[in-house]
Structure 1
């Protein structure tokens, strides 16, 4: 049996089922023009999966002055200074616009030594198009080292460069699936260049680098400064399952348990004969129905160590090690987006705690160069996923995560086509299909506007405002006054059956109008905002006249079972008045067709309509199988795995984490009401829960809320400086005291309301 079939059988057995663009909107803070040269190796190179070693020796006198290295590559690099690793996987997948390239700034202040220094760069050129990568078609690197803003070193033909002979460009089949620009990483240690990153290495026999062009030039074009942090690096760690090293392989697959689903690179130390082939891959190697990446190592003679540099993800690492190889050590390195799990939420029902724990883990494993749907199949920036992921991140992660959403927003609008349409995933070299519903979601209330509401970043809103207006102009009205359904390139809507697509698109269009009107007002364009809101008022009337059937919404030609998605979307869009809530509630008690993606909006509708008990009940019912599963630390793409799921049935899909956002926003009741959290509300809806505590890391500071609904009603709050909170207490409670003082409140829609400034507060009330 082929090794990959053997590994696949192990994996399956462990599963529980069958298995003309816009002007560049990025703003560079660095005004210095590039003076360096793009360089590559002189020797002939393969078309794809190319690895090049670069070296440069130089002298400095001042080692404490501010020192910055600017470096641009296609596609990734590893940077060494005097033999020390400085950057583990630098560079971003290419495509801030359809033509341009990202560059990094590396702070080397205090890292140089007086006198001779050696820079070494290992470059990995994908050479393939992919979802979220637009290949330049030319392997190359450009770099400039500045001290006190004075150019000290630049890439030119004084650099040495050779193809790294140990990296094999072509691997045996199977190859990673077509969506990935990355190839399998195969390293033949018999051809290694020992110690080449170190200062004492003799590179006299290396040829000089080949110059390809100077400064801003084709095919890399304009250079955009990296807008997100460098990766967090855990260093090498031992696997969870204890192994007694050393031991001699019996030829069986060695399974190493990882702490959770994450981004990992495998490391090994062995004693072997030359020519032994070792394969390393995870349980996610075919986790999304098609092959992902794997690593292979071909041994030299004797003791040796190796770390494969292309990250892979999963819960376990498989090592296929030939019989007789002595295994001295096996470890892993985790890298990932540099953010902290700064938010927290805890309730008195452990199901929801476990759901949130898995949601955060799933969110984190779908973040790197971009938000992605799943690392197990395509690593692609689908915007239906991005909208939900960013919503989760605003509550669960530290604010460094905001930069990933901003990067995605600017990329999306920089890739807008001359006909004003937008599409995802981007950046890309192999995809061009618009998903109309996801595009409306991205530019709308839950997408771009939610970013501004949470960050207060008006500069970015100003940059994407006109492209959003252009995209909305693509949509046309019917004679009834609603929008015509657009097929785009792929009118997905949602996985699953019973999709009433005209209503789904109309509700998403209305939310896009809402987001656009809010952006216009924020930018001081009151006339435009008033005009759009007038249009929204007319649209709402037409929507209800066209689609309301007395007890549910349905489009004229839709013949399926009543679509729960479209009812929920109509509510959260604001198209439904309160007199229809009971009818919608009855529909949502019966109909359950949405995938985990759209289920978030169905559940949110229940909270908004005032049915928190059923919202929590339905959440538990729908997500129970994946939350209670003990095999996976992440949430799934569909309600099952593999054949029981959707789209390949991946086991790590962040769009299933919408319940995390709902627990923060509705159960704990914490939500911004003005940009940048200057004002926010605290309106808990506990349903049948008795206790909840939540911590939210906002741009204004940390908000803390704890609610106890037992013999008395207790609400403890910490409000950050320079913010105000509007607090809602259900009207059934009386004798309300805050910090032991009676509260002056107003009454509205079954709540007693009052406002508080920054500080610590304890509210107590009785029925």
Structure 2
């Protein structure tokens, strides 16, 4: 039966009153008014606001100016009226941009209903240095010999300003983490700058507007530098100074005066330094030790006498490694107050913030000089209610604060972060009160783009945990955990979660920046390390599912954001990785030995429990499946980029791998070698099962799930696709049963056990309230949160029709155990929404389609009696099919309703195993 395609432009006689479109939400490289971009051809995007349905853009006009108003003398680029529906990632093609310059831009649009907008409100972007030659500052370092644990470095420089200032910028970066100060005030609101990159190949610098902080006469620029990732202890091998043993600063102030002259204040040999400040110890893993008695009042003010400070050395480093801001800034995002303060059975004073988070605690205290407060951090309490830190391994994760005395003191650390829900406090003068402690949540400042809610409170809690797992681990790079002596950019974890991450938050610049480090760390033969930045140095070892991040993440970002640039930027890396596997697999197209981690942390029963299969998946099957998948995606990427030769080459490779996979791993009856859930999931998801055997293979997968009483047995690689594969093969009800399972192993088991983030292991806390192996047991580890992708796409029904949601597919899969589910997502074009609700025997499907896009809406199980916005829908050839009725709509909001018939589940095969 053919689906119904209805065009509401013609069906609904009464539409919204005509309205001129409005161009708004202007961004440059995904950012609102970015400062310090190092792109010579930045890309501009906007959204169209209108209440008029079926709105499409037909033309646009962009103008770029070096000032406001947009006078012709200042205009550097005017496109004129361009007939195009492009409203995202429109490339600037005007004259070459100047370094350290602000450009303003506006856009106006024309729609398909003969309406024109006015010019949008002005937006701007500001260039960074653009070239190494634009740097005139020198790197400066302390003269002291470096040691493993040293105080934070303090630097200062006094300079004069004697003319009227138009604008002023500070360009800065460091070897280590830095904070910049000007005339005693902190510059900017970013923390943990300059972030973490492959420092030997890429180092970000930041740009700050310091115009309001300057004053006529003498001024002082200062900086504090901590160890950070650059030279601090990092990794579980207790490495120190991996990228260098000495801290260093590069700082360049550029002050533009009203008379057109420019003054530069550069870091150079005239700067002064000291290591005698209050931060006596700091480290990413160890925390921070701060002695307030050693504070240096006025150290960054002009009246300060720095004759006791030491001179600095200048150093030469390759400024070609410097890159402007590519990621999103790390900031203090929100604050939480204690929900409970109590003593453990052994007398430990504990504060519970109610949420496992990443960041630190702000302390407010009154006491005597010399009193020291110790704050330790933990994610969980043990079964007896005692503070539990064994899973932190060697990470001290502690704050030691010594009071200066004489009044109220407020402190928060500078160069560290912790993963915690609880803190243990000792040495505090007086009783602990909520007023004294505030948890500060810290992560990359990515806009939240997606929401999900449904009728089941535990599933809503699961969504909460998924989101907080992302908050806790998207801190400049996608880490595996924020608490123990690891916190590394594990490639497999990021790969499996990337699609879910892109729903929850705007991750395009975040992951694009990190993927450049993946390429920078790629081995000479194209292999990809386990972690990026690569501090493990594992002799060029590559593992399937981990190395495939080089291909899967760029393709995922292209799908979500329609960003060809990330494909172009990463294409060499993508191709190098697949070519590496081509060589390793050889002419048999089976990648032997390519899966070093297997289906990591898959569920298995006890070692001597033979009452059920243990879920083990053959590692060569895993490796070969991912080899096929990456080859297929690389072929598709080549097609997007117009590389027809590579498109065919890698499509042919995929076809050969599929033949080899079928020959080696699939029986004529549709069984997958090893008979594991992950084996079936990967084979079906990656298109490796012949069409004639798909139904049987899917049924065997369901048999396995049913035999386990609706429990999964998958690990990091199988879990993300498990529910998707079930839905795609007609077993949505089985996916729901897995989702709603509350006993171990399941997604809701940790929720039932009180989790507020996603756990690393299915049984991080066992049913008897004891813990899994303390050597690897994080309680904030987002990988299994990848089920969110199924919740958004299948459960609530919001899917991508064309890259970037230029065409939206609404295809919800309701289940009688729920009464409603709703999802919203802020696409590059505007908000899309899909939601369904069963009420009084009727199904309501509410959708919202952003302007300049279209959608196909499938109404599940609909056949007759369909209404839209309360009006009956009548059309010739109204046919239903297996999915229901499919309706094609333009932009706007629509509510469909019709009598509801419960979806029936397919019956799985019952063939004995």
For Structure 1 versus Structure 2, the TM-score category normalised by the shorter chain is: 0.7 to 0.9
Q: Report the counterpart of residue 437 of structure 2 in structure 1.
A: 330
Give 1:406 deviation, angstroms.
0.9
CA distance in 2, matches of 1:207, 1:163: 9
State the SS of the aligned residue for 2:251: strand
Q: Report the counterpart of residue 456 of structure 1 in structure 2.
A: 562
CA distance in 2, matches of 1:359, 1:240: 21
Q: Report the counterpart of residue 648 of structure 1 in structure 2.
A: 776
The 1:45–1:443 alpha-carbon spacing in structure 2 relative to 1, beyond 3 Å, is: closer
State the SS of the aligned residue for 2:776: coil
Moved more, 267-276 or 359-368: 267-276
Query: 1:584-609: CA deviations, max 9, x gaps?
Result: 32233336321366322222211211
CA distance in 2, matches of 1:58, 1:255: 48
CA distance in 2, matches of 1:499, 1:289: 30
CA distance in 2, matches of 1:161, 1:734: 79
Give 1:102 deviation, angstroms.
2.0
Give 1:727 deviation, angstroms.
1.6
Which residue of the other structure, out of 865, 883, 889, is the alignment partner of 1:756?
A: 889
Preserved contact between residue 287 and residue 650 of structure 1 (Cα < 8 Å): no
Say yes or no: does 1:586 pair with 2:714.
no
CA distance in 1, matches of 2:151, 2:599: 39
Preserved contact between residue 219 and residue 301 of structure 2 (Cα < 8 Å): no
Which residue of the other structure, out of 737, 742, 750, is the alignment partner of 2:874?
A: 742
Q: Report the counterpart of residue 549 of structure 2 in structure 1.
A: 442
Give 1:670 deviation, angstroms.
1.0
Describe how 1:222-621 pairs up with structure 2 within 5 A.
222-234=321-333, 238-241=337-340, 253-284=348-379, 286=389, 288-292=391-395, 293-303=397-407, 304-309=409-414, 310-321=416-427, 329-377=436-484, 378-397=486-505, 399=506, 401-432=507-538, 434-445=541-552, 447-476=553-582, 481-487=588-594, 490-496=596-602, 497=604, 498-550=616-668, 553-555=671-673, 562-576=675-689, 577=691, 578-580=694-696, 581-590=698-707, 592-595=712-715, 598-621=718-741
CA distance in 1, matches of 2:879, 2:658: 30
CA distance in 2, matches of 1:236, 1:617: 36
CA distance in 1, matches of 2:314, 2:547: 45
Describe how 1:2-151 pairs up with structure 2 within 5 A.
30-32=129-131, 33-61=134-162, 65-87=166-188, 88-96=190-198, 98-126=200-228, 127-128=231-232, 130-131=234-235, 135-148=243-256, 150-151=262-263
User: What 5-or-longer segments of structure 1 have no aligned partner?
Assistant: 1-25, 171-175, 244-250
Q: Report the counterpart of residue 853 of structure 2 in structure 1.
A: 723
Which residue of the other structure, out of 826, 834, 844, is the alignment partner of 1:714?
A: 844
CA distance in 2, matches of 1:190, 1:661: 51
User: Over alpha carbons, which structure has the higher Rg?
Assistant: 2
Say yes or no: does 1:163 pair with 2:275.
yes
Give 1:277 deviation, angstroms.
3.2
Give 1:48 deviation, angstroms.
4.5
The 1:151–1:588 alpha-carbon spacing in structure 2 relative to 1, beyond 3 Å, is: farther
CA distance in 2, matches of 1:418, 1:746: 57
Q: Report the counterpart of residue 5 of structure 1 in structure 2.
A: none
CA distance in 1, matches of 2:348, 2:704: 51
The 1:439–1:751 alpha-carbon spacing in structure 2 relative to 1, beyond 3 Å, is: same
CA distance in 2, matches of 1:164, 1:89: 22
Q: How many residues align?
A: 713
Say yes or no: does 1:698 pair with 2:788.
no
CA distance in 1, matches of 2:889, 2:327: 35
Give 1:54 deviation, angstroms.
1.2
Query: 1:380-411: CA deviations, max 9, x gaps?
Result: 111221123322222122x2x32111112111
The 1:288–1:661 alpha-carbon spacing in structure 2 relative to 1, beyond 3 Å, is: farther
Give 1:254 deviation, angstroms.
3.2
Give 1:467 deviation, angstroms.
1.8
CA distance in 2, matches of 1:527, 1:268: 61
User: What 5-or-longer segments of structure 2 have no aligned partner?
Assistant: 1-37, 41-127, 380-387, 605-615, 766-770, 901-913
Say yes or no: does 1:682 pair with 2:781.
no
Say yes or no: does 1:638 pair with 2:761.
yes
Q: Report the counterpart of residue 23 of structure 1 in structure 2.
A: none
Preserved contact between residue 552 and residue 587 of structure 1 (Cα < 8 Å): no
CA distance in 2, matches of 1:646, 1:452: 39
Q: Report the counterpart of residue 12 of structure 1 in structure 2.
A: none
Query: 1:403-449: CA deviations, max 9, x gaps?
Result: 1111121111121111221112111333335342123531344x221
Preserved contact between residue 185 and residue 308 of structure 1 (Cα < 8 Å): yes
Moved more, 323-332 or 510-519: 323-332
The 1:484–1:451 alpha-carbon spacing in structure 2 relative to 1, beyond 3 Å, is: same
CA distance in 1, matches of 2:707, 2:263: 68
Query: 1:675-698: CA deviations, max 9, x gaps?
Result: 222112111111333311111122
CA distance in 2, matches of 1:748, 1:146: 66
The 1:67–1:749 alpha-carbon spacing in structure 2 relative to 1, beyond 3 Å, is: farther
CA distance in 1, matches of 2:864, 2:758: 41
The 1:257–1:198 alpha-carbon spacing in structure 2 relative to 1, beyond 3 Å, is: farther
Query: 1:305-363: CA deviations, max 9, x gaps?
Result: 43222221211222221677999933343322212434211112222111111111111
Q: Report the counterpart of residue 610 of structure 2 in structure 1.
A: none
The 1:758–1:323 alpha-carbon spacing in structure 2 relative to 1, beyond 3 Å, is: closer
CA distance in 2, matches of 1:77, 1:330: 25
State the SS of the aligned residue for 1:65: strand
Preserved contact between residue 326 and residue 509 of structure 2 (Cα < 8 Å): yes
Query: 1:620-660: CA deviations, max 9, x gaps?
Result: 22122111223x31121111126436961211111121222
Preserved contact between residue 475 and residue 483 of structure 1 (Cα < 8 Å): no
Preserved contact between residue 845 and residue 896 of structure 2 (Cα < 8 Å): yes
CA distance in 1, matches of 2:844, 2:462: 25
CA distance in 2, matches of 1:271, 1:486: 61
CA distance in 2, matches of 1:227, 1:593: 39
CA distance in 2, matches of 1:274, 1:478: 67
Moved more, 748-757 or 98-107: 748-757
CA distance in 2, matches of 1:441, 1:366: 20
Give 1:112 deviation, angstroms.
2.4
The 1:441–1:601 alpha-carbon spacing in structure 2 relative to 1, beyond 3 Å, is: farther
The 1:352–1:550 alpha-carbon spacing in structure 2 relative to 1, beyond 3 Å, is: farther
Moved more, 32-41 or 337-346: 337-346
Give 1:100 deviation, angstroms.
3.4
Q: Report the counterpart of residue 612 of structure 2 in structure 1.
A: none
RMSD: 3.1
State the SS of the aligned residue for 1:73: strand
Give TM-score scaled by structure 2 length.
Answer: 0.72
Give 1:27 deviation, angstroms.
5.9
The 1:438–1:519 alpha-carbon spacing in structure 2 relative to 1, beyond 3 Å, is: same
CA distance in 1, matches of 2:430, 2:703: 66
